[in-house]
Structure 1
């Protein structure tokens, strides 16, 4: 018995020693992209009170820090302009870890549900066509495994990968095409982190306490139900797929989600503002956040909940600085398929937001879809004004589709639309005193009104009337 007890104690002591040895989180790995021109966090674990020595091949100086009493350490390593490959050497208590083939560039995190997740693993043709010829050593990928956790985690099971056919196939098509656009237009190394999970509501990506401390968000979260293919509990993917990344410096975020929150649409804007702000606070930077308005799809709800959720998404785009939304009502070839196959064009529109606003290499005009701003009644017409519109409107076809007008009786009639510069003039012979207009305000509408750059006008309504079944 005594020998057994002694052996157990020795094994426990050895395990403790091994655990305390110098370690890094998996996100700090060979082939990674570190954010350029910043103080990049390098962190890990080691023996308490020992010194950690860090040598980056792009720096002349050596950086030192000390492992704290809990066995953790962190240091800020200056990065410079884009370039590489470089090496990073970390040493402590007789052990050294070396990381190779590191690039300095820009790192973007893409997240959301299946439309962000989909790629070659779902036989998406746009990605399958890329696989035979994919080749760019300056575009790196980090695929985060699907894991959920009740409490915040410190590590992920994944490391950075070089871009090739094998690593691209399971990766986010939108994430890859965004990176490809940046590589062509900006010509700096790009790292794309994909943390997405099909079917997930926004609540799982938001810290639980923020939802629990808000009555509206808490009640909306209760509408989410169990499903065998994805988690639904508040905060569980924030804990496991986002929180472990937060020490790692980023350029910004991309998001494609909303289909799983259609039934809780009234609070989606509030939920998104809460989530976006929580992510920005976690990274301690007001990072750009760009997202996709959900596509037309035959949800077959008795009231147009998807249209109402799109309206909420427009509110988010207008209410937060450094936030932008792309509209894709023209990129759907089958309203019975919730996964539109044109991911390349979605990615191009998303990338253009950052190219104009962050990189400042675009033409800085009409790179966003027009959003409803205000209206004015002029006789028997209603004149609609838009944000993000300077170069005028156009229609593809002889007549503007999905356009309706109503008087004080709240009965909507099909309307005629006339383009006058940057405004839309709406009228109907059946409505002599108009008070409201709706455009594309159904779950499946794919209207034909665009800006001169070819970006679709976002669906909208001028009224706030309660929609009944």
Structure 2
């Protein structure tokens, strides 16, 4: 973007308030290399000084903008334009902004939690890569007419006018590694199908609940969020200012932890003294994180660990080596009240020499003061690393240690939003969705739900509220496509209730809303990883849904066989389905994944077979069946599909209460 100043600028743009500055500026989302939505009016907006005349020129035609409002915001609307480009877009006020390499095509908003956030490739701990064949995908990513803009993660009490981001990036082997993997494979599939430019605005945050992405207005029908929303509305400060104040206070207490640490006693004594009475201290197993202990699940601060050991006369007066494994984050380590070492590198295993003069026969006391600034805290590593050795002997120290908190949690500064601002209702909508309006989109892809699994009953209302909310704010019935959660966790030998199954059912319930589509991932998950690695197939199935819902392809088989109705025939049940395509199919030698129950609500595995366009199920243990469930488990193994290879979404024919009923 080139900026041509027509008048002198009194202050840097980034430091000036929108209404006070004397030149036109644009939101980060409106920039060079962007993609604009084809075939519909396209809003372009920004800020200028009060009374400043602004115009936008595109493809040789100038379009006047509205007069700046009290905040300095103006808006112009470009007419519907067919796919094409590159073009220049010029914004002129007292200064001129020239945007280059602007394309017109289809623009999608991609949002959700970690399964949408995970990049094509990144540096994850232990070399973990959540996307299969990432290197090959990167090498082949020469798609200059695919563009991505990734919104910076942020949270706010109230809707924000602006959101920072990466700027529009042109897809290439040099850039694609940083793109959302699901969104990339989706955009690539769309481009290959329609050969028009594709832009994706990615706005996501791993581990977040759906309610964080819904506006306060959209949550009004869910009273359980009312108290927190009212508290946010009453705030006279910003969340960023409150967070900064909290961070400053927290950092000061950790940087000066000795000043506040109750382990430092009057008279210069500490909890490391051998004669200190620690008999009332609780114990925890080491090595291991302290977050497993009551009251310490989210604790960052200081914990003192203490262990008394008996040494033989043979070791008395001998130098010893004390190893601790990895300490998170910093430690001060004492032997019989004398400091023998300290460290600050959480990745460096600790090893300290205990001078011979400190070692005595009989009772000895080891104390480790641990300071954790964030994340997991405690003494980690392998049990064998926690040991005292010397004179040809090794004394294992793994096992129970006494512990006491040096900085009591109740004395710590309280964060502005306990539990994390990104976990609270409306905060992510305010900071990461509201600022994107009124940018024109073709539709939305959404991959979220894992964080709401324990409140699946609530999700039946919450998820449709999110879809409706976004559509109302954009003033358009945007196509909304989502991924139904994949199989995860250990498989169970017998039919059972499942919160994961209930969440998937709640997701599927949103299909009652018009212009929605679902990509089922029930057959590509991993029992040990909540993040399926086959992001390519997730993207492909979203493309199929988009081709039907957003592009009007009614001849396409875009979904797996979907339960429609049941009929009891003697001891058997006949099931009918929609989305058959050219017919039902089985991925494997025999059909399985079905369970049936009688009036007692007790489910038993059933045998199943395809009979024409139906599936017949029965069990000798249920002579009078009244209900059928399919893939009703956290990690089911059903194999019903259609001949297009798309799996049947999980379903149940009953409406009996599940394990998440009443949870909020």
Alignment equivalent of 1:345, drawn from 521, 537, 549: 537
Moved more, 146-155 or 283-292: 146-155
**Selected match of 1:21 from 14, 20, 23:** 23
1:299–1:306 Cα contact (<8 Å) kept: no
Secondary structure of the residue aligned to 1:208 is coil
Displacement of 1:211: 2.3
Equivalent in the alignment of 2:148 = 141
Distance 1:19 1:417 in 2: 71
* 2:57–2:63 Cα contact (<8 Å) kept: yes
C-alpha contact (below 8 Å) 1:198/1:230 kept by paired residues? no
How far off its partner does 1:451 sit? 1.0
Q: 1:358 aligns with which of 550, 554, 563?
A: 550
Deviation at 1:49, TM superposition (A): 1.4
Alignment of 1:325 onto 2:518: yes
1:216 and 1:267 in contact (8 A); partners too: no
Q: Choose which of 562, 565, 573 in structure 2 pairs with 1:374.
A: 565
- CA drift at 1:353: 1.0
Cα displacement string for residues 21-59 of structure 1 (whole angstroms, at most 9, x for unaligned residues): 211111110000011122111111111112112211x24
Structure 2 partner of 1:251: 442
2:162 corresponds to: 155
Give matches, 1:409-428, under 5 Å.
409-428=600-619
Unmatched 5+ stretches in structure 2: 1-9, 230-297, 299-416
Structure 2 CA distance for aligned equivalents of residues 436 and 370 of structure 1 = 18
CA offset at residue 238 of structure 1?
A: 0.4
Q: 1:110 aligns to what SS in structure 2?
A: strand
Displacement after TM superposition at 1:91 (Å): 1.1
| Structure with greater helix share of residues | 1
User: Please, what is the CA RMSD of the aligned residues?
Assistant: 2.6
Question: Are residues 1:46 and 2:48 paired?
Answer: yes
CA distance change for structure 1 residues 468 and 305 in 2, over 3 Å: closer, same or farther? closer
Equivalences for 1:169-208 in 2 at 5 Å? Answer: 169-208=177-216
Which string of whole-angstrom CA distances, capped at 9 and with x for unpartnered residues, describes residues 55-79 of structure 1? Answer: 11x2445435422344221111114
Tell me the distance in 1 between the aligned counterparts of 2:133 and 2:217.
Answer: 40
Report SS of the residue matched to 1:141.
Answer: strand
Distance 1:71 1:468 in 2: 52
Closer, same or farther: CA 102–233 of 1 in aligned 2, 3 Å: same
The whole-number CA distance in structure 1 between the counterparts of 2:440 and 2:84 is: 16
4+ aligned runs moved over 3 Å, structure 1: 14-18, 59-65, 216-221, 225-230, 299-303
- Aligned pairs for 1:24-423 (under 5 A) are 24-56=26-58, 58-93=59-94, 95-119=95-119, 120-121=121-122, 122=124, 123=129, 124-158=131-165, 159-215=167-223, 231-298=422-489, 303-317=497-511, 319-332=512-525, 334-360=526-552, 364-423=555-614
Measured after TM superposition, the shift of residue 181 of structure 1 is 0.6
Report the CA distance shift for 1:144/1:81 in structure 2 as closer, same or farther (over 3 A): same
SS in 1 for 2:77: strand
User: For each residue in 1:188-212, what CA deviation from the matched residue of structure 2 results, as whole angstroms up to 9, or x when unmatched?
Assistant: 0100111111101101101134325
Question: Alpha carbons of 1:342 and 1:230: their partners in 2 closer, same or farther (altered >3 Å)?
Answer: farther
Pair 220,174 (structure 1): closer, same or farther in 2 beyond 3 Å? farther
Counterparts of 2:71 and 2:421, CA distance in 1: 34
SS at match of 2:155: coil
Once the two structures are TM-superposed, the CA of residue 171 in structure 1 deviates from its matched residue by 1.5
Please give the secondary structure, in 1, of the residue aligned with 2:485.
coil
Partner of 1:466: 657
CA deviations on 1:271-324 (whole Å, 9 max, x unpaired) are 01100011011111101000011111118998410011111111112x101001
Cα offset, 1:104, TM superposition: 0.6
Pair 164,342 (structure 1): closer, same or farther in 2 beyond 3 Å:
same
Quick check: 2:156–2:427 contact (8 Å CA) kept in 1?
Answer: yes
173 and 267 in structure 1: CA distance in 2 versus 1, 3 angstrom threshold:
same
Question: For this pair of structures, how many residues does the alignment match?
Answer: 451
Would the alpha carbon gap of residues 206 and 422 (structure 1) be closer, same or farther in structure 2, given more than 3 Å must change?
A: same
Flag the 1:244–1:451 CA change in 2: closer, same or farther, 3 A: same
Task: Give the match for residue 286 of structure 2.
Answer: none
Q: CA deviation at 1:218?
A: 5.5
Larger radius of gyration: 2
Partner SS, residue 231 of structure 1 = helix
Range 208-217 or range 25-34, more displaced: 208-217
Structure 1: 5+ residue stretches without partners: 1-9
Q: 1:372, 1:15 → 2: CA distance?
A: 58
Structure 1, 251-260 or 418-427: larger mean CA deviation: 418-427
CA contact (8 A) 1:127 1:173 kept: no
Q: Is the 8 A contact 2:138 2:176 kept in 1?
A: yes
